[in-house]
Amino acid sequence: MTTITIVQLYPDLLGITGDRGNVEVLSARAGYAGHHADVAMVGIGQDVPASADVIVIGNGPLSALRTVREDLSARREWLAAQIDAGAAVLAVGGGAELLSDGIDLLDGTSVPGLGLVPARVARTRQRRVGYVVAETPDGRLVGFEDHASEWSLSAGADPAVRYGRVVAGNGGFADGYETLHQDGVYATNVQGPVLPLNPQLADALLERALKRHGADYRPGAEAAAVDVHAAAARAEIQRLATVKRFTAIQL
Q: Which residues are annotated as a binding site for substrate?
A: 127
Q: Which of 90, 12, 25 is nearest to 53 (CA)?
A: 90
Sign of the CA dihedral running 41, 187, 199, 233 = positive
Q: Are the C-beta atoms of residues 63 and 10 closer than 8 Å to each other?
A: no
**Binding-site residue set:** 127
Q: Which of 149, 125, 134, 135 is nearest to 59 (CA)?
A: 149
Question: For residue 159, is the peptide bond before it cis, meaning its omega torsion is within 30 degrees of 0?
Answer: no
Sign of the CA dihedral running 55, 75, 80, 66 = positive
Give me the helices (H) in the chain, please.
19-32, 62-74, 76-84, 94-98, 199-211, 220-243
